[in-house]
Amino acid sequence: MRNIKIRKTKLEDINAVMRVHRSSIRDLCSKDYSEDQIQLWSAVNYDEGIWQDSVLREHHLVLEVDGEIMGFCHSCVLSSGIGEIRELYLSKQVAGKGYGRKIIEQSLDYLKNESCKKILINSTITAKAFYEKIGFQCEREKTVKVRNTELLTYSMLLKL
């Protein structure tokens, strides 16, 4: 039986989280975006100062399977009553097995405890159906620029 744990992100998790971020884009999103988009989008390198500030001030969780980080979720309070799920990335080994729902539920609990009544997310094509199953509603399509490439995404909203 696998040892599954969701815990708060530590500063020293930077390389493992960055690895999951890159591999999730390459392995899971490649069916919905072009090869050029995937290459540019997945060329993520975290700035250590920004990483440290974000981990210390916002809500970051990692998913560990047998001691290895296989996913992460980053959320925050934007303003009074409004929260945002900024990132949710899983490795292909755990995608589709219910772990994404578990980690996002913990993030949603955090945002509820912070008195958020509305939760925003900017979803990829790949993740849109997943968020709809959780209860998010698509507000509109939008194009975002990420590392010199444009990606079709969806602005989604969950009312608590």
Residue 54 is part of a domain; what is its CATH number? 3.40.630.30
The token duo for 111 is 């945002």
Tell me the per-residue pLDDT of 90-133, one tens digit each, with 9 for 90 and over.
Answer: 999 999 999 999 999 999 999 999 999 999 999 999 999 999 99
Domain that holds residue 69: 4-159
Tell me the per-residue pLDDT of 51-74, one tens digit each, with 9 for 90 and over.
Answer: 899 999 999 999 999 999 999 999
Count structural domains, the chain.
1
CA distance 43 to 47: 13
Q: What is the pLDDT of residue 99?
A: 96
Contact 105, 125 (CB under 8 A): no
Look at the block and give the residue holding tokens 């069916």: 31
The pLDDT > 90 percentage for the chain reads 90
Contact 62, 9 (CB under 8 A): yes
Q: What is the pLDDT of residue 25?
A: 97
Q: pLDDT tier at 2 (50, 70, 90 boundaries)?
A: confident
CA distance 88 to 104: 8
